[in-house]
Chains A and B, each alone.
Chain A
Amino acid sequence: MFKVETNLKTGEEIYKKVLSNGLKVYICKKPGYIKKVGMYGTVYGSIDNDFIDITTGERLKVEDGIAHFLEHKLFEQEDANALDVFAKMGVSSNAYTSFDHTVYFYETSSKHKECLNKLLEFVNTPYFTDENVEKEKGIIAQELKMYEDEPSSVAYYNVLRAMYKKFPLNVDIGGTVESVYRIDKEALYSCYNTFYNPANMFVIVIGDVDEVETVKQIESFFNKNVNRKTATVERFILEEPKEIAEKRIEKKLDVYMPYICMGFKHEKQDGKTNARNTVIMEIIDDVCFSALSDFHERMFNSKIITEPVEITYESGKEFSHTILFAVSKKHEECEKEIKTYFEELRQNGVDKELFEIAKKKKQGELIYDAENFMEIHRTVIDSIIQDTDVFEMANAIKDITKEDVDNFIRENLREDNMVISKVREKKK
């Protein structure tokens, strides 16, 4: 086990160990905190729909939404539901699925060791039957319906559809109601056996814990209880063309406020570059669009927006893109102003003084992040998926220059790689 070193003066203490079965374990110490969080995850998400089944050795293509379905079903054990088991202990538990990973977690103030064992146990004990699979479909269908009514969710998924022709980012993480109803237990087992193998998984423990004892507990669990095939997963990734899929997607919903997403499609990058680009984009967000910026003041004073436009960089091992979010009743004018603004930024770069203020702001953010109990898990998971240092992003902050930011805008936020997704009001 080793301590992840950092020259940041934020007081973060993180320990890492890779077990003999390939499982990556991270302990993020938070002295003095009452809460302890245990997370057990897999590098498997909605985009992993084409792979070699570890049991059969055959290539298998599965239905959209199966990673998310699996996440729902893993809580169900033969004699109990893990959610219930935790709840009966007074412990909250939950899980989520994203494009490229799935995480199961609990939060507790007092029963951490017991909970950690339970978490490892239930995720390692799949129990899928025709009956319990069928029952879940109605619940997931309602979850999907809920998101279909949320303008931000609809605009976001459509901007991904507009950018990606083939890569499965162009499908909702949960799939569709139709694809969900086609999922069966055999497919769930195939996905589980392949992706939920220790070499593809990780454990993160956050709280006032002893790192040596915690690692021993995890090692002991796996030595006694888990004897599954462990191997590197072979995934098939469709080659995504450089060009966007379509320039514009618009959808009408029963809402008052139109929602705009602007996407910029980039080529896939290595982890280090993605980490650096993430920080560059956070600076762009502060300098160019937040309430710090002249742009925001101008747009607000013209009554085009009431809330700041936001921009963010998203990436994984196989993709990267930038997405801008805006809400405006005057959505056509808003879109036009933003496009003109990007043209100006490409030509003139960002304001030097604001850039320096943004860097100072980021230094403060690092300390707040170190205090934020859950922030560290996002950073750790990113480093696992992209194979980078845990503090890659934080360390990048001091080296980034105004020229880096200007170059990024010029090279990556262009007209030709840009798409628009809008949710507009249905006129009654």
Chain B
Amino acid sequence: MKNIIIRNSNRFKSVFAQVNLLLPLTAEDMSKNALLAMMLKKSNSKYKTERELERKLAELYNTSFGAGVGKVANMYDITFGIEILNVKYTGKEALDEAVDILCTAICEPNFVDGKFDEKTFELEKSSLLERIAEEKDNKKKYALDSLEREMFKGTDYGYPLYGTAEDVVKITNEELVKHYYDVISKAEVVVATVGNLENMDGLAETIHTRICGKCGKHTVEFTPLVEQAINKEIETKVEEQDINQSIICIGARIKDVKTEDVYKARLFDNILGGTPAAKLFQNVREKESLAYFAKSMYNMFTASVCMFAGIAPEKYEKAKEVMLKQLEDIKSGKVSDIEFNAAKENLISAYKEKQDSKGGQAKGLFSNEIYFGRTVDFDEMIEEISKLTLDDVVEIANRVVVTNIFLLGGKADV
């Protein structure tokens, strides 16, 4: 796996620089990782308050800086990103300052007597608690996250991304400092720079060297797929909420999956629910008028697929029946040439168009480095997809096992 990813194109006017800190995924560290990312984003040794930092970024011609967290199979990813204009618009000094902000945020926290600034710590803790409590307000995301938790219940992966409110409350300042040193002593650092890199040679290497100067160079042992027994019976969970529209999510796992199955799985997912020509859209929405949105999503790191739709509460049984039938139809090869070709063309176009997005490229190429253990560019992905046949799709569909249903809203007879 490459730890430095560089893509240069003069179609852009700016550069997106992404730093990923990869760590082993453990349930007990989720909240600490999330809180740490929030702390490092807002305050560091040179810019101690968010206000000072944002003013500096604004002066650097609207440079933006952000941090986030994510789960990648058995790894936890803390991502930092900065977006800066090419030097021809701003001059080299501005670039150096922007890079300094990124590296300082990761390498030089705002420590006062060996602890995080106490006020910032308390405020960010409160913010994280609010963020956790607020999750249920985004109904679609909450339903999908809840499905994932059910599917991977009992594993570290199945634990909430930010942890729980109880976990957050328990974190002390000292503990978070200790966790910071823990993170930098074992994180694997990956840097990607994508955009117009003219006269910005060595940017990725400079960032990587500086951060590894603090963190050291480590490798996190990566297992591309979540190893977990697939349950024999479908488990259904209902969470009642007082809402107008119910959201039904059906989760499935792929049995005996290998790394190279990812292309078949993506094409299968696209046929199932990736486009308006897909089975879910055509049948759940257009034919039966059951939903405004009816889609599916494939996660390559967990080899799982979920189908989801927003429905009238009383239509739950009918929607479930129609959605499950689409999966059965693909298993038995009931996929028309039009459905197959539409899904394939769409996937190929999506990979071509990713190259028009700096962030899209950075994220996609980074994910591929982890998943495949080597560089896999979009051209290679396009070539692999192009070779696939309907037999490939039917073959993988017959390894798809529905394991869980999650209904947000109500009216399920369970």
What is A's interface to B at a CB cutoff of 8 Å? 10-11, 30-35, 81, 83-84, 86-93, 107-110, 135-143, 145-146, 148-151, 253-257, 286, 290-294, 296-297, 300-301, 303, 306, 329, 354, 357-358, 360-365, 367-368, 370-371, 373, 426
Contacts and interface: CB of A to CB of B under 8 A. Distances in A.
Contacts of A89: 342, 345
B261 interface: no
Nearest to B345: A90
B79 interface: no
B403 to A, nearest CB: 27
A32 B291 contact: no
B13 A35 contact: no
A146 B310 contact: yes
A142 B346 contact: no
A214 B54 CA distance: 43
A34 B355 contact: yes
A31 B49 CA distance: 40
Nearest to B140: A146
B8 to A, nearest CB: 12
A357 B85 contact: no
Interface residues of B, number: 65
A84 B287 CA distance: 13
Contacts of B118: none
5 contacts: A84-B276, A87-B276, A90-B348, A149-B243, A373-B356
Contact of A368 (B85, B342, B346): B85
Interface stretch (B56-64, B172-180, B217-225): B56-64
Contacts of B130: 257, 306, 329
B182 interface: no
A255 B60 CA distance: 38
A357 B55 contact: yes
Nearest to B282: A84
Interface stretch (B119-127, B150-158, B207-215, B252-260): B119-127
B385 to A, nearest CB: 11
B123 A257 contact: no
Interface stretch (B29-37, B131-139, B186-194, B387-395): B131-139
Contacts of B89: 364, 367
B311 interface: yes
A83 B356 contact: no
B244 interface: yes
A208 to B, nearest CB: 8
Contacts of A373: 356
Given A306-B126, A364-B61, A256 B50 contact: no
Contact of B133 (A256, A286, A291): A256
Given A257-B133, A364-B85, 5 more contacts: A90-B341, A149-B139, A256-B133, A297-B50, A373-B356
Interface string B320-355: 000000000000000000100110111111001101
B11 interface: yes
B347 to A, nearest CB: 8
B14 A368 contact: yes
